Amino acid sequence: MIDAKPRVIFVSEGHEITHRQMQALAELNLKGSMKKAAASLGISTPVLHKYIHEVEEKADLELVTTTSTGSRLTKDGLELLKKFGEFELRLQDDEHLRVAGTIVSQRSVLVAASEISQAGKVCMVTIATDEQNLRLMREGRVDCVVFDDAINAMENAPERDVCEIGTDMLMHRDNGPRHARMAFGAQRIAFRHLDEQEIPHEVVRMFHEPTMVDRTELSYFINRSLVRTGVVKAVGAKDAPWSLHSISALQCSEHGDLPAFLEEAREAWIYRKG
């Protein structure tokens, strides 16, 4: 296996600020002295001056101010360094299991993460939408994504292993053609059905918080699992049997803790047979 690690390169006004130049800025901020920072980096003071000058030219900002007591970063310098640190953290790879799910799969994912922690294993959990979790997958930032809509797993990573966590069904509260669409769940299935049946409908709101369905007069589709677990009441909503679908976990790596997590997630899912 190739031992390769990514590094941050900033681009300002079309000019590249290299990782080494940002390291020089960071070390100067830490040491408060050009001489001490240069010694820490194993370079000469003139070379450090050159790095700092190049960064200032490329950023078109004054990043360092020097007095008789030493050197310090200006407000702009600290801001640039802060952004550099944030991007550096995004590139760090750790050994912890990293999983992502949505509001729909949240209970199952969190229970599974809690269970494997009993064995001293650390699991980092992200709860977002399928679309946001797909981005995490493409960026290599998760070991597993639990999708509300299995088609996302099959279409975006057909070569990877997919594990069925359980099944779910949508419920429909029909209050006319004006609909709220959820930012989670298998909404694709719901509105495709309305299209195929030529049922008039219009999406006029987007809900990210499931409990908002209990305060709206709009029609909507909501996951039955959220009703069963008491997350929402969904008064007036009826089962839509045609919407039965899988909740699937896409395995994005071969992390050693992943099999145990998947087994616990299946055990925690409310509908094992739909």
Residue 274, pLDDT score: 41
What are the sequence ranges of the domains in the chain?
A: 10-91, 97-167+246-268, 168-243
- Rounded to two decimals, the pTM is 0.69
168-243 topology per CATH: D-Maltodextrin-Binding Protein; domain 2 (3.40.190)
Q: What is the mean pLDDT of the chain?
A: 88
Burial class (CB in 10 A: 0-12, 13-18, 19+), 76: middle
pLDDT category of residue 58 using cuts at 50, 70 and 90? confident
CA distance 187 to 176: 17
| Most confident stretch, 134-138, 144-148, 151-155 | 144-148
Stretch 112-117: mean pLDDT: 94
The dihedral sign for the CA sequence 66, 72, 76, 81:
positive
10-91 topology per CATH: Arc Repressor Mutant, subunit A (1.10.10)
Residue 157, pLDDT score: 65
CATH of domain 97-167+246-268: 3.40.190.10
Residue 160, pLDDT score: 74
The per-residue pLDDT for range 59-91, each reduced to its tens digit, is 888 999 988 788 889 999 898 888 888 777 665
Q: 97-167+246-268 with 168-243: one CATH topology?
A: yes
Residue 17, pLDDT score: 82
Give the C-alpha distances (Å, rounded to integers) separating 120 from 127, 143, 251, 256.
22, 18, 21, 13
